[in-house]
Amino acid sequence: MNYSVIEPTLDDAPVFQITWETTLKCNLDCSYCSKNYHNNAIPHPTLEECLKTVDFLLEYVDAYMAYKLPSQRRAGLNVFGGESLFHPNIVEILDYIKIQHEQYKDKWSLSIQTITNAIVKEKIWDRIVDKIDYWTVSYHSETTIEQQDLFKQNLLDLKQKGKHFKCAIMMHPKHWNNSISMIEWCKDNNIPHLPRQLEHDFDFDYYKKDQIKWFDELYGITTKIPLHKKIISIINLDSNGRSCCGGNEMHVNADYSSSQPYIPNNNFKGWHCSVHYFFVFVKQVTKEVFVNKDCMMNFDGKIAPIGYLSDAQLIIDNIKQKQPPAIVCGKHRCRCGLCAPKAKKYYDYNNIMRHYLEPVNTVE
């Protein structure tokens, strides 16, 4: 069995996702978010550091775009954190991205995206809202009533301005009714939304049986836990997989005729994957460069960076010298990069990638 996104055209081709963790500081402290994702004890990276990273990321993507079919040359730079909109120089950073992309605009397009909690006061919000093209706005039920009101106000502003956005509602098992109320508010206000299950990497309550049933009905895929035979009252949903962050579905056969919102277990260990042709991830604080935020596989079959920002030119030169090979997955769980085309056999992987790359000899 092969897994891929839909056979692409210019309008629906997958976007090369540049994921840039600009800072670890955040204005929230959610119970399910570890210090790997936010740490207010670490200062914001300087403006100078951030601008150098923008230069690297644009040149990195340009090197990969040289291998892609003309219809595939689209990129999105996701500026996130921590909370990226909490960075004191966020306005200057966003302006610099637009300016520096001018030299590449005739070769590939770029949109600016963000994943944000959108708890941003009006004075700052008004300065940044028109600089960002696509918004993924995460709703966190542990916030205060005042913060939730500000969140809703900013969502309505995105809608009024005609922005491309969606609201990812983090379905907290302990604050379930609040999360459900937010879903209903989104429906009432015609706000695009996507309920998201939480991973249980951290210490908080698991989902209850009625909540599991709710997810089953939402996704239309029955969990592997026979609830009617179980006496347990709390359940870890991790083993059932999770949906794509962007709401993409996985196509699960060669003719693209069948798709699913998520793949049970998300286990692709030993498969050939093209994740590096669709993602890059930079941690500004640690200076690490990965092919993807959550899989973090490198070309040596290890969960490790492909390099550091101090090696920026070497990383780019290596891409330009030789078309990068498939990455062989070494993990039991694919948490992100789920929508990157992949196959068990390299021959099948190669055939799939003909829909995305210029024809070259890629035999390993």
CATH number at residue 258: 3.20.20
Count: domains in the chain: 1
Pairing mode, if any, of strands 207-208 and 234-235?
A: antiparallel
On whether residue 194 sits in a domain, the answer given is yes
Residue 262, number of CB atoms within 10 A of its CB: 18
Q: From CA 330, how far away is CA 62, in angstroms rounded? A: 27
Identify the domain containing residue 150 by its residue range: 2-353
Q: What strands lie across the sheet with 272-273, from one edge to the other? A: 2-3, 342-343, 272-273, 327-328
* 360 within domain boundaries: no
Considering the domain boundaries, does residue 362 fall inside one?
no
Residue 36 lies in a domain: yes
Tell me the one-letter amino acid at 46.
T
Please report the pLDDT score of residue 34 as a whole number: 79
Mean pLDDT by 10 residues, the chain (364 residues): 42 82 93 83 96 98 96 95 95 98 97 96 95 96 97 98 95 94 97 84 69 81 45 46 60 59 73 93 97 91 95 96 93 74 88 86 42
274 within 8 A of 353, measured Cβ to Cβ: yes
Each residue of 237-283: pLDDT tens digit?
Answer: 555 555 565 556 666 565 555 566 656 667 888 999 999 999 999 99
The number of residues making up the chain comes to 364
Residue 56's region, left for phi above 0, alpha for psi from -120 to 50, else beta, is alpha
What token pair was written down for 239?
Answer: 């083993």
What are the pLDDT digits (tens) for 36-46? 788 889 999 99
Residue 227 domain-assigned (yes or no):
yes
C-alpha triplet 245, 331, 61: angle, nearest 5°: 55
Q: Is residue 361 part of a domain?
A: no
